[in-house]
Chain A
Amino acid sequence: GAVVSQHPSWVICKSGTSVKIECRSLDFQATTMFWYRQFPKQSLMLMATSNEGSKATYEQGVEKDKFLINHASLTLSTLTVTSAHPEDSSFYICSASWGRTGGFGYQPQHFGDGTRLSIL
C-alpha cells in the first residue's frame, strides 16, 4: 500500500518552456504533499509543502511564481516550473502523507519515483 505515482519520469525541453509534473497518491488520501529538489549526489531539499485545499507553503529561497504548486484534491498535486531555464534542471521528487502539517504521530511520507528535468 501507500503508492505514489509521479509523472513524467523524464522531461527534456527547451529554455522558456513551462513544465508540469504530476504527483498522485494511488491508494490513500494525501492530506499533505511535499515537493523536493535533489541535485546530483546531494540530499533532498524541501521546496514546498501543501495541504489539500490550501495554498502551498514555500521554503525560504524558493520562488513561488517560478514553481507553481496546486493541490486541488486529496490524490493529486502538481508542480509547474514556469519559463524553465537550464539552472532549473534537476531531479524533482514528490511525497505524500495522510497527515496534515502540524500533526503529530507516525505519518510517514511516501515518495514518488522522481522526475528528471533537463532544460536545453
Chain B
Amino acid sequence: GEDVEQSLFLSVREGDSSVINCTYTDSSSTYLYWYKQEPGAGLQLLTYIFSNMDMKQDQRLTVLLNKKDKHLSLRIADTQTGDSAIYFCAEKSGANNLFFGTGTRLTVIP
C-alpha cells in the first residue's frame, strides 16, 4: 500500500527559511498536497502540485517535486511565528482518497 513519510520535528528561527520534506512510495500519484494543522483545528490546504510538475511557487511557499526519487518538499520563506503548526503532505493516486504523511511539527523560535 501507499506509504508517506515525514520527519517529525523541525525548528527554525523567525525570518529563516523552513524546508519540510516528504517521501512517498506510490509512483502513480497524480497530485500531492501540503496541509497545515494548527492546535485543536482541522487541516488547511496550503498548496498542491500535479505530478508532472517539478516546482510550484505561491507567495512564500515553494513546492519541489522529484518524481524519480518520490520526494516532495515544502519551503516556507521568511518563516514567522504564525507558521508554527503541523504540516502534512498527502498524495492522491487515481481515486479520491488521500494518503497522509506522519506530519512534521514546525516550531518557529522568535
Contacts and interface: CB of A to CB of B under 8 A. Distances in A.
Given A44-B100, A101-B95, A106-B48, A111 B43 contact: yes
A contacts with B: majority SS: loop
A113 B48 contact: no
Contacts of A108: 33, 45, 48
B30 A104 contact: yes
Interface residues of A, number: 29
Interface residues of B, number: 23
26 contacts: A4-B42, A34-B97, A34-B98, A42-B102, A43-B88, A43-B103, A46-B97, A49-B96, A49-B97, A93-B42, A93-B43, A102-B96, A104-B30, A104-B94, A105-B30, A106-B31, A106-B48, A106-B50, A108-B33, A108-B45, A108-B48, A110-B45, A111-B35, A112-B42, A113-B42, A114-B41
Given A101-B97, A109-B98, A113-B42, 11 more contacts: A44-B88, A46-B98, A93-B43, A95-B42, A99-B96, A106-B31, A106-B48, A106-B50, A109-B96, A110-B45, A114-B41
